[in-house]
Amino acid sequence: MVEAMKVAGTVEDRKAIMEAVNEGIKNIPEDNLVLPLHEIDEVGSLQWKFDAGIVEDGEVEIFPFE
């Protein structure tokens, strides 16, 4: 939300902040993301991309979800 407020140029105008969320998400450095948030869709749902970790023979492998 901080990045959305920066893009919107306000901390008080909720409508402007929500309209700026997707642009704000693009400004978050990838290494600061706990989960890879991509956007908020038109109905307000958070859109995430998840991968699963699989341990095989003591090694962690990434398994993408679709």
List the structure tokens of 20. Answer: 């700026």
- Residues 6 or more apart from 6 whose CB is under 8 A from it? 24, 27
Cβ proximity of 20 and 8 under 8 Å = yes
pLDDT digit string, tens, across residues 11-35: 999 999 989 988 998 888 877 777 7
In the chain, how many domains are there?
1
Cβ-based neighbour number of residue 3 at 10 Å: 17
pLDDT digit string, tens, across residues 40-55: 888 877 777 777 788 9
Please tell me whether the overall predicted TM-score, pTM, comes out greater than 0.85 for this model.
Answer: no
- 40 vs 5, which has greater pLDDT? 5
pLDDT of residue 15: 93
Domain that residue 14 falls in? 2-64
